[in-house]
Amino acid sequence: MPEILTAALYHFVPLPDCEALRGPLQAECDRHGVRGLLLLAPEGINGTIAGPPEGVQAVLQWLRSDARLAALRHKEAHGDRMPFYRMRVRIKREIVTLGVPGVDAARDAGTYVKPTDWNALIDDPEVVVIDVRNGYESGIGSFAGAVRPDTRSFTEFPAWVAEQSAPGGLLEGKPRVAMFCTGGIRCEKSTALLRMQGFEDVYHLEGGILQYLEDVPAEHSRWEGDCFVFDERVSVGHGLAPGAHRDLCRACRMPLGPQELASPHYLAGVRCPYCHGTRPAAQEHALAERERQMALARARGTDHLGARQPGTGPRNAEDLPLGGGAVLSGPPPTEPVPVLYTFRRCPFAIRARLALAASGQRCEWREVVLRDKPPELLQASPKATVPVLVLPDGQVLEQSLEIMRWALHRNDPLAWLETGDPQTVADLIAACDGPFKQALDRCKYPERHPDSPPEIARAQAFGWLADLEARLAQSAFLCGSQASLADAALMPFVRQYAAIDRADWACRPWPRLQAWLAGWEGGALWETVMQKAPAWHSGQAVQYFPAPPAGPPIPA
């Protein structure tokens, strides 16, 4: 079998031209047969790539040829199986999402501690040792005596720090702190956060847990259990040997060891002991079908996901030439598809696209310029507001919720329609589309509402957002442990409010709501929904929405 080299890399450095780097970097990876995911942001680069050793090394050399990335460090792992389905280079606000404006890891990260000196530091009883990873990672292994915040995503960490900095908390009085994570990137960001908040003695493990496990012999180690890794290995132990947790639940992403795999609640690709009983039968059926298709692809020796086929055109809308003419989502459908009139930034249109993308419903994509609406839109819907969905039989759906329900009734693999009490879902959406939307418009466009005092609108918006925060204190999503129609319908409007002033948003006492929003914005579904397309005009070649589903994400 051919050797596969996997390289995990990151570097905090100002990259104000990150948008311009995306295309050439994607082309360089494709040229060398390298797959994976790389994130570019104004604060740096982060990601994991894999492929033939000479191809991976060529990409690394290309990156380091940029003087700003000359100090880029990476970790290598060798194997005989490709851990990724495709290559993606994505532009993000942050290379690891914390959601706190002003944190500058390149400037303010804490003091590095080498793995050989780490034991002496964490053995000091005056040092608070914090595992900044998520709960599913720290649950299978950590340093002895470390504090585990058990966050669901990194965006929850600032709220945990705030809680523990209060009187009686672990961080009261700003003690000496030592932090660690898998490879070091989250530690650089989290130590910079603490230093921004006035902590002076903040340390982090250089190279992360992986470097420690590689450098420190097992007989001298303070590490207990396995270290979760974000590739097909799932976990490693001392010397970076494979860990006991070698499988991942494809439904909930929890790492699985021999005990979980032997459980009667485990069904490959569908459920495990951690998520058993949390999904409706329809969703489990969809997961089982996905697993069946992947097994068939393996038997044929082909990729089930992600391989770009000749003639399918560019993967992202940024690749489209002005004037269009490209297909965003594979070859033309064999049957007529609906026509979607949409505007990228409109929250009503966004919610409709979320449901269409989640359901996998393909549409002919017609991006509208609101100041120059095409006559075809005006003919289909005299009200001429987006979104509008024209079905193949001529029926016209003019309301965003109508489009969402139509798409999800056809296919609802994420069980959005089945999650939550129907009346509660309806009430949440009605409050969003009514009182909150009115307050949002007055906060965002005060000049359009001179007779409405902006402080009243802000108070109304604050009250509604505080109610959402209270809901999220009870469960991970607005109506339970998984996303519902209400989450998808409300998210674009919460995002629009947050975008009015991101710094002000970050200062508000809504840590769970902020983490909920950041989770949506960091997901592959959001990337699909927010792709760019040129304005549609009559006679141009057909473009399709949505794009193909994304592969495994880089961790939060």
Burial class from Cβ neighbours inside 10 Å (0-12, 13-18, 19+) for residue 418 reads middle
Catalytic residue among 18, 181, 249, 272: 181
Yes or no: say if 386 and 360 are a contact pair by the CB < 8 Å rule.
no
Do strands 73-79 and 44-51 pair parallel, antiparallel, or not at all (unpaired)?
unpaired
Active site residue 181: yes
- DSSP-based three-state secondary structure for 145: coil
Q: Say how far apart CA 71 and CA 66 lie, in whole Å.
A: 10
CA distances from 143 to 134, 224, 307 (A): 14, 6, 39
C-alpha distances (whole Å) from 382 to each of 378, 379, 470 are 5, 6, 40
- Rounded (to 5) percent helix, strand, coil in the chain: 40, 15, 45
The radius of gyration of the chain's CA atoms, rounded to the nearest angstrom, is 24
Answer yes or no: are the C-beta atoms of 536 and 366 closer than 8 Å.
Answer: yes
Question: What is the spatial distance between Cα 87 and Cα 35, in angstroms, rounded to a whole number?
Answer: 4
Nearest-angstrom CA–CA distance, 439 and 432: 10
Place of tokens 């590095």: 112
DSSP string for 322-356: TT----SSSSPPSS---EEEE-TT-HHHHHHHHHH
- Give the span between the Cα atoms of 416 and 287, in whole angstroms: 15
In angstroms, how far apart are the furthest CA atoms of the chain?
76
Q: Give the 3-state secondary structure of residue 484.
A: coil
Do residues 233 and 79 touch, judged by C-beta distance below 8 A? yes
Distance separating alpha carbons of residues 82 and 53, to the nearest angstrom: 12
**59 vs 107: CA distance, rounded Å:** 27
**What is the rounded CA–CA span in Å between residue 537 and residue 263?**
56
CA distances from 305 to 133, 187, 329 (A): 28, 33, 13
Residue 519 carries which DSSP code? H
Could you tell me the end-to-end alpha-carbon distance of the chain, in angstroms, rounded to an integer?
A: 33
| 113 token code pair | 């501690």
Which token pair is 155? 């965006």
546: cis peptide before it, omega within 30°? yes
Q: Residues with Cβ < 8 Å from 82, sequence gap 6 or more?
A: 4, 35, 50, 51
| Catalytic residue set | 181
